[in-house]
Amino acid sequence: MKKFAVCLFIASALALSGCKPKEVPGVYVEIFLKNDADIDKYVVFNPNIATIEECETGFAASLPGVMANLPEAIPKNSTATGWKCSLEDPAKKK
């Protein structure tokens, strides 16, 4: 009976570990903004970039396209003052 309980525990632990949502690989880019509305940052996620180094070297070319397609909540007169690449969502950091 004890052996059965151990097997049941292991099976349930394995089943629950399979339910955990898998993280999508990619990079978060926190863009620091200056505008009249005091919205100081905007975060984008790019699943096509896998490393911080790749983000830092290539994001400058993507920045004009990101700034041209900002959501309506962010003023169109916003200018980017810098950016920071991260593997973790900046909104979830403590």
Report pLDDT digits (tens) over 63-73: 999 999 999 99
Q: What is the mean pLDDT of the chain?
A: 81
Full-model pTM: 0.70
Whole-number percent of the chain with pLDDT over 90:
65
pLDDT single digits (tens) 25-38: 899 999 999 999 98
Contacts of 61 (CB under 8 A, 6+ apart): none
Is the pLDDT at 2 greater than 50, yes or no?
no
How far is Cα 56 from Cα 47, in angstroms, rounded to an integer? 15
Spatial CB neighbours of 82, under 8 Å, sequence gap ≥ 6: 31, 32
Per DSSP, 74 falls in state S
Could you tell me the residue ranges of all domains in the chain?
Answer: 23-89
Tokens 């909104």, residue? 91
